[in-house]
């Protein structure tokens, strides 16, 4: 950064700080400032500066909390309630600011307020709730639920608010309850089940239990169904489990039984075998899980649902075809939802192409391409061996990623067809002192490669290897955990223990393999540029990554076969 750029940067920071300072000064005494003016100051504070939205939210929340401690008139809780009446005028900022000031009030009330302030605020909040219920005015449903919670509104409070709104005072004791029940019916009709349940719980209103539960299950609102069943108690939880079992949804049935201590009521679901299958699935040992199911339909269906939950679509299709399992039409929908989840995908890493290489011409093309780059990512995969004490299987594939492409080398076929060309091409990459090789625990992989292909010299030593795992010593969760800390999203590792000797590999296996190599380049870019989130390193810290580059010119130690 030039001197002029530094001066400009300091001036911009100074202006930003001044803007915050002005707002903070204005917030310091609100005894004579109206709620409208306060919200205007809040808006001005939000629009100034270059902080991200989440950081601004935290900072503004601290300021609002300070405002409440400074004693706005006529009282902190009343002041927030008055702001909630006005916020719909701010349109774009309405929902965000509503959550902001409600959250600040929630923290403030932990230290208490006056009884007068609390009672008056309750009345204002009750009338605000009624405006939403009767006329669909003011705030959305999520804000409405938060208003009920923070002001601790009861059915009696709503009745008092209704009487205050009705000039004639012509309100019967059941009017408030009837209004709420009518509103709940509308919420259920629009499938806003969570909000409906929040109101039923808050006001202890009885509702048709089982039909409501079945309606939510039919709409695939399982989270809402489980919350309602938990609120209603053990009999409804049993109905929920029975419905899950009937619809072959053994995974959620298992979870509900475990969380609510219903083992005695459903011994067939909670067998030790189900527990074992779940543990195997968590470790990606799908072949073992299939074997442990012993061909029993109930257990096979449970494995299918575990695979669906993990997004392992090819295993679902394989089991359904192999054992003629039906009723799993939502597989594609499950995978689509998974792809929208928190996992990284190749599109996120700007990879233009994934190239399968199983012929010498393709191997030479890959080598020429990779030699044009100063940094590449490396990884390898092999079929897991579950027999205790036996040697690991031969490495099946090796992935090498550049900034734009990932080459997946079929080592088994290339070695069988032309081992000399394989040795020559990989030596040009692995032995090059000009190309920085990135890996994650790759020194373990290179030993396995040396063991698998003992007559190839390319795996006997290496130059310029940077093991990313050594740079980040304190993180957890393997490469996926590191990717989540540095890049914001992790990797789906459910295919880690799949059959890597199968040909052709599925598109999901190819994406998994390509991601493991490509993600290393993006993590390295953050390391190199010292741009790291707080979860990875302290602010302004620098990682001296160059000191972790290693070369091994002696023969790599081979993995010995156990006797």
Contact 290, 274 (CB under 8 A): no
Size of the chain, expressed as the number of residues it contains: 563
Angle between helices 313-323 and 297-310 (to 10 degrees): 160
Beta-strand runs (E) in 310-413: 353-357, 375-382, 395-401, 405-410
Q: What is the DSSP string of 90-104?
A: GGGGHHHHHHHHHHH
CB atoms within 10 A of CB 537: 18
Name the residue among 128, 127, 105, 107 with its Cα closest to residue 117.
105
Task: Write down the pTM of the prediction.
Answer: 0.53
Please tell me the predicted confidence (pLDDT) of residue 3: 53
Contact 317, 331 (CB under 8 A): yes
Residue ranges per structural domain of the chain: 3-193, 271-339, 346-552
Q: What is the DSSP string of 372-389?
A: T-SEEEEEEEE----STT
Alpha-carbon dihedral sign for residues 31, 37, 41, 46? positive
Instruction: Name the band, by pLDDT with cuts 50, 70 and 90, for residue 556.
Output: low
Beta-carbon-side half-sphere exposure of residue 29 (alpha carbons within 13 Å): 1
CB atoms within 10 A of CB 452: 22
Does 210 have pLDDT greater than 70? yes
Please tell me the predicted confidence (pLDDT) of residue 78: 93
pLDDT by residue (tens digit) across 211-228? 899 999 888 888 899 999
Please tell me the predicted confidence (pLDDT) of residue 337: 56
CATH annotation of 346-552:
3.30.420.10
pLDDT by residue (tens digit) across 456-479? 999 998 999 999 988 887 667 789
Mean pLDDT rounded to a whole number for the chain: 83
What's the rounded Cα separation, in Å, for the pair 147 and 430?
A: 62
Name the residue among 520, 472, 515 with its Cα closest to residue 496.
515
**Would you give the DSSP letter of residue 530?**
T
CB atoms within 10 A of CB 223: 12
What's the rounded Cα separation, in Å, for the pair 198 and 200?
A: 6
């Amino acid at each position: 950064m030039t001197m002029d750029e530094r001066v400009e940067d300091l001036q911009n920071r100074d202006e930003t700080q001044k803007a915050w300072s002005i707002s903070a000064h204005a917030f310091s005494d609100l005894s004579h400032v109206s709620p409208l003016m306060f919200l205007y100051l809040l808006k001005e504070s939000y629009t100034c500066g270059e902080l991200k939205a989440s950081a601004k939210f935290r900072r503004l929340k601290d300021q609002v909390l300070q405002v409440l401690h400074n004693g706005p008139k006529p009282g902190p809780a009343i002041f927030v309630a008055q702001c909630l009446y006005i916020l719909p005028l701010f349109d774009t900022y309405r929902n965000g600011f509503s959550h902001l000031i409600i959250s600040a009030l929630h923290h403030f009330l932990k230290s208490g307020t006056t009884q007068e302030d609390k009672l008056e605020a309750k009345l204002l909040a009750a009338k605000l709730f009624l405006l939403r219920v009767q006329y669909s005015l003011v705030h959305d449903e999520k804000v409405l639920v938060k208003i009920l919670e923070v002001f601790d509104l009861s059915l009696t409070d709503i009745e008092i608010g209704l009487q205050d709104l009705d000039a004639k005072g012509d309100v019967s004791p059941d009017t408030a309850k009837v209004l709420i029940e009518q509103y709940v019916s509308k919420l259920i009709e629009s499938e806003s089940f969570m909000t409906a349940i929040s109101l039923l719980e808050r006001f202890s209103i009885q509702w048709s239990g089982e039909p409501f539960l079945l309606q939510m299950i039919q709409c695939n609102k399982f989270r809402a169904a489980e919350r309602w069943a938990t609120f209603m108690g053990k009999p409804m939880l049993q109905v929920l489990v029975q419905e899950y079992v009937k619809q072959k949804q053994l995974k959620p049935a298992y979870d509900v039984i475990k969380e609510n201590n219903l083992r005695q009521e459903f011994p067939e679901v909670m067998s030790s075998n189900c527990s074992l299958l779940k543990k195997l699935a968590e470790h990606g040992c799908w072949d073992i899980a299939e074997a442990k199911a012993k061909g029993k339909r109930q257990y096979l269906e449970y494995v299918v649902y575990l695979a669906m939950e993990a997004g392992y679509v090819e295993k679902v299709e394989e089991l359904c075809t192999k054992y003629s399992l039906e009723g799993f039409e939502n597989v594609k929908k499950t995978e689509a939802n998974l792809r929208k989840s928190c996992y990284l995908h190749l599109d996120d890493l700007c990879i233009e192409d994934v190239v399968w290489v199983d012929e010498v011409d393709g191997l030479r093309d890959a080598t020429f391409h990779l030699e044009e780059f100063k940094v590449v990512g490396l990884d390898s995969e092999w079929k897991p061996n579950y027999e205790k004490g036996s040697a690991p299987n031969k490495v099946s594939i090796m992935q090498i990623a550049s900034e734009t492409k990932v080459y997946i080398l079929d080592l088994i076929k290339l070695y069988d067809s032309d081992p000399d060309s394989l040795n020559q091409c990989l030596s040009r990459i692995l032995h090059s002192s000009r190309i920085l090789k990135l890996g994650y625990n790759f020194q373990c992989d290179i030993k396995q490669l040396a063991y698998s292909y003992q007559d190839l010299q390319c795996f006997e030593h290496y130059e310029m290897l940077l093991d990313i795992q050594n740079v980040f010593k304190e993180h957890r969760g393997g490469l996926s955990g590191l990717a989540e800390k540095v890049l914001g999203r992790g990797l789906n590792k459910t295919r880690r223990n799949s059959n890597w000797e199968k040909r052709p590999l599925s598109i999901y296996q190819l994406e998994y393999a390509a991601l493991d190599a490509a993600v290393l380049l993006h993590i390295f870019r953050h390391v190199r540029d010292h741009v790291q989130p707080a979860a990875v390193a302290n602010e302004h810290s620098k990682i001296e990554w160059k000191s972790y580059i290693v070369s091994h010119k002696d023969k790599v130690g081979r993995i010995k076969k156990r006797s």
